[in-house]
């Protein structure tokens, strides 16, 4: 009985070990490759669930069948106009041919290495064949706002883009996808994440940007000073016009008043010979007051001016 129990226990343990080595689970996000003595056997398993393999002989290799990302390092490269820039790219990919992928690469680390080599090479080729404006401008039809164009037109000449960065990304995708297909990689998209100047030339770029902004600010100041001068000129002209009109109005009123006063005097002193003589006497006295006050005058005694003085009674 004891020997039978021991044999039964050993047999049960062996069956459990055999079953644990023969069964494996495939998840919804996984692709399984079975290898026998290091070589793939059978077709890749993509159906989720419980599957069977030869125990102790076959080995399970799990691959991810979801969309994967690749974020490459920023790389310095020259443009067609000999401007050194740093371009940072990223892409999305997935395993299109699991068998070819496993044979060529086996894991994501190797896949990222090949992606970096191939995408980096194609990006350098595309950048070297185009000028900087093509990498910076996303679309050739994209235009700056009118206000920004007005600010920059006096200091900066913006070259038109012939294609744009989106077209360059399409070129990189078209060139890299066929090279990655034999490796079992299906390239889904390639994008430029960041474009920056080389760190060695950044101080000069910032200095040039500062100079351009100072030129724009100086142009604004000049325009403001010119507008201020025009406003002051208009103010002076308007002030002189108002003063001239006011002076003309004053002289007109004064002339009218003098004419009216003369008329009143004429009516008042032209009533009789006595009134006319009184008017002549008063005017002569006014003349004496204006001419003889503090003034040395040499005149003949027969002068008409002194006729009232000669006829004045002694005091």
Residues counted in the chain: 315
The DSSP call for residue 159 is P
What is the CATH T-level fold of the domain 68-199, as seen in this structure? Answer: Tetrahydropterin Synthase; Chain A (3.30.479)
Distance separating alpha carbons of residues 239 and 236, to the nearest angstrom: 5
Statement: residue 156 has pLDDT above 60: no
pLDDT of residue 187: 96
- Rounded to 5 degrees, what are φ and ψ at 31? -125, 135
Residue-wise pLDDT for 222-246, tens only, equals 989 999 999 999 999 999 999 999 9
Question: pTM of the predicted model, to two decimals?
Answer: 0.59
Residue-wise pLDDT for 85-101, tens only, equals 899 999 999 999 999 99
- Domain boundaries in the chain? 2-64, 68-199, 201-269, 276-315
What b/e sequence results for 17-41 when a residue is b if at least 16 CB atoms lie within 10 Å of its CB, and e otherwise? eeeeeeebebeeebbbbbbeeeeee
């Amino acid at each position: 009985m004891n020997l039978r129990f021991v044999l039964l226990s050993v047999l049960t343990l062996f069956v459990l070990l055999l079953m644990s080595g023969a069964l494996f689970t495939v998840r919804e996000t996984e692709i399984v490759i079975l290898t026998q003595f290091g070589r793939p056997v059978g077709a890749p398993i993509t159906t989720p669930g419980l599957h069977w393999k030869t125990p102790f002989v076959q080995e399970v290799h799990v691959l991810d069948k979801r969309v994967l990302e690749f974020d490459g390092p920023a790389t310095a490269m020259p443009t067609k106009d000999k401007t050194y820039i740093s371009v940072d790219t990223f892409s999305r990919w997935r395993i299109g041919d699991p068998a070819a992928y496993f044979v060529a690469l086996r894991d994501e680390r190797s896949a990222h290495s090949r992606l970096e080599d191939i995408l980096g090479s194609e990006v350098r080729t595309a950048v070297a064949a185009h000028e900087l404006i093509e990498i910076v401008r996303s679309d050739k039809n994209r235009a700056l706002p009118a206000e920004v164009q007005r600010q920059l037109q006096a200091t900066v000449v913006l070259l038109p883009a012939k294609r744009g960065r989106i077209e360059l990304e399409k070129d990189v995708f078209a060139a890299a996808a066929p090279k990655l297909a034999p490796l079992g990689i299906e390239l889904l998209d390639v994008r430029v994440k960041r474009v920056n100047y080389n760190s060695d030339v950044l101080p000069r770029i910032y200095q040039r940007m500062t100079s351009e902004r100072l030129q724009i600010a100086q142009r604004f100041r000049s325009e403001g000073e010119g507008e201020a001068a025009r406003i002051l000129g208009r103010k002076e002209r308007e002030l002189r016009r108002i003063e001239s009109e006011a002076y003309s109005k004053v002289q007109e009123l004064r002339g009218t008043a003098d004419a009216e006063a003369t008329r009143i005097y004429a009516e008042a002193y032209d009533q009789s010979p006595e009134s006319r003589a009184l008017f002549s006497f008063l005017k002569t006295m006014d003349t004496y007051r204006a001419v003889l006050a503090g003034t040395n005058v040499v005149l003949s005694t027969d002068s008409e001016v002194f006729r009232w003085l000669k006829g004045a009674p002694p005091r």
